[in-house]
A and B are shown apart, each in its own frame.
Chain A
Amino acid sequence: MKLFVKIFLWYLVAVAMMFGVMVFVTRTFQTEPAFSRWQRSARNQMAFYSATAEQIQAVGGDDALRTFLARLNENGTIRDVLVLQNDGTVLYGDPNFVGDFENVVAVARTTGETDIEVNGTDPALGATSLHFADGRPAMLAIRWEPPRTPSFFFDSWVGYMRLAALLLTAVIVCFALAWYLTSPLGKLRDATRRLAGGDLGARVARRVGRRRDEFADLAKDFDNMASRIESLIDSQQILTRDISHELRSPLARMNVALELAKKRSTPESTPLLERIENESNRLNEMISRILTLSRLESGTEDFSKTRLDLADLVRDIAADAEFEASGKGKSVVADAIDECSVKGNENLLRSAIDNVVRNAVRYTADATKVSVSLIKDNGHAILKVKDHGGGVPQNELENLFRPFYRVGEARERKTGGTGLGLAIAQRAVAVHGGEITAENVDGGLEVKIVLNTTSRNGN
């Protein structure tokens, strides 16, 4: 799961739990005491009201009592007031409510004490005995508005709105926090990938912004590392190029001196001088290839690309290779060549394909053939070159395209390669946005080059 989602969810869960705990604690430790406080106060109210009612009745008679009770009824927390005489007549209040109070009145009457009856969220009922001055026994009954518990949410739509607002805020804050924590990671990852992909100029500090935390430090460290790698690789490439350039001067002198020596040579020394010439040519070829490779790898050079007929190019190369292979008892067969054209640099593509085909000719067993095919498929040109040379160990396939990599020591040297042909081919194909792969196909190596084709009208 993505780190962003993880952080987001964890924070959201944390906030939700905190909220839940808060509600639970509030309910447990505040609702109950508040409730019993209310009960106590209701009891006190009952005692106070009954005492007051008794005094008023004693002084002003029933009418004054009714006036008092009516005023009491106006109190916001009290819904109904009822005074029942023990003979069953209602002294004050709505007779319809008598039934509602039956229970609580009976309890208060038998115990002789004030009784408060609370039933969930129903209005609370209370009853107590009245002792009028004239000796008439009666009961005062009060129905309160439901006791107010400190319920914050689930009691109305306002409560739900409040809950939703709280959750929304939590979500937004969690989202922002998760983004704040993970966004520099995404940028770092992107830069790391680009660096690994060969873009040595990939930097991240400026993209992370003006933070001053561990992420900013990490970004700076990454940039330092990238700069260091870039300069190391650059200097290594420059060194390779310079060495190769510098090697040419002595080589040029050697070539001329060798030619002079050959003119004066004795029959015994001639074969040796020719051997020296061969080696010098090989050295020369190798230097050229190293330089080609370093130009391809530097990625700074803009190779001019034109639309070119790939089928023609492949046929051409195959014909040349066939000519050379026939001298060694091998052959090159261009089986299926589809007509297609690509946009590319002719020299580069020619040398790429040429290197692959020559490589195949070099390794294919005597008296076998190298098959070359070019298939046009859905906007791609797929070139396959297959030899019968026993293939390459599976775990070495990827290494084939590394410069100077040799499958089995000294094998390639004997067969006359420089160890750079496939490396150059790979870089040249990459410059064209294509791909080169190798695999073992029934007793031989098959190298596949995939390039994008151009449409007929040349785009």
Chain B
Amino acid sequence: MNRILIIDDDEELTELVSEYLGAEGFDTVAVHSGVEGLDKAKHGNYDLAVLDVMLPGMNGFEVLRNLRESSSLPVLMLTARGDDNERIVGLEIGADDYLPKPFNPRELLARLRAILRRVDGSIHDDLPERISVDDVDLITAARSVTVGGEPVALTSLEFDLLAALLNEAGKTVRKEDLSENVLERKLSPYDRSLDMHISNLRKKLGLRADGTERIKTIRSAGYIYTVV
């Protein structure tokens, strides 16, 4: 049974969500402040955290920033609907996904399952065990990536994106396919999360030794992991 940590100050909402997720086979724990949430996320044994941005005291972004210093616990952020900045900031800091609030519980469930499936690595059945493209070495089962022999810490989503791009290195991977295969949802026009994740991935991988960008954007088509 998956253990989910819900960090949201709306106690009634967390009660209802716990009930709903409980019926779907999740074990949920709800906390109502950022500080407490951060502590539990760091030390509790959870598979995933649902984190609201608007929290009294320490807000969701701060919690996530602190958490990312030591943990790669998958995080789904609940952002204010209609606020582009919030979701962009959330993804930048390292959230795995976001959901605008108020959300449809079925959507929440689908997102949670998608993230968890990714963490399990169950969607990589069709990938080779190991992919090496120039100085990048990716081992699927261990979910580890090294660049020039140095390990790079990626979130599970970034790992999956990189795996998908490396597997097709030198070819353009369509945004639609990345969205459906990695994020497990249809690409919607306003969804910038793919771009944000790719941008994070670029930062973490760094430039090639010759100073060129590893992942290129093909306008209104997709991304390509370039081969020298």
Contacts and interface: CB of A to CB of B under 8 A. Distances in A.
A316 B103 CA distance: 26
A256 B105 CA distance: 6
Interface in A235-282: 245, 248-249, 251-257, 259-260, 263, 281
A255 B82 contact: no
Interface string B103-128: 11110000000000000000000000
Interface residues of B, number: 24
Nearest to A316: B189
Contacts, number: 63
Given A260-B20, A291-B81, A255 B103 contact: yes
Contacts of B105: 255-256, 259
B51 to A, nearest CB: 15
Interface residues of A, number: 29
A245 B80 contact: yes
B12 A253 contact: yes
Interface in A267-321: 281, 284, 287-289, 291-292, 295, 309, 312, 316, 320
A165 to B, nearest CB: 69
Nearest to B13: A253
Given A257-B16, A260-B20, A291-B81, A248 B102 contact: yes
A327 to B, nearest CB: 17
Interface in B197-228: 219-220
Interface in A318-377: 320, 347, 350-351, 354
A3 to B, nearest CB: 48
B168 interface: no
A350 B189 CA distance: 8
A350 B13 contact: no
A316 B102 CA distance: 28
A98 B84 CA distance: 114
Interface string A206-234: 00000000000000000000000000000
Given A248-B102, A260-B20, A284-B102, A312 B220 contact: yes
A259 B103 contact: no
Interface in B62-118: 80-84, 100-106
Given A248-B101, A249-B10, A309-B220, A259 B81 contact: no
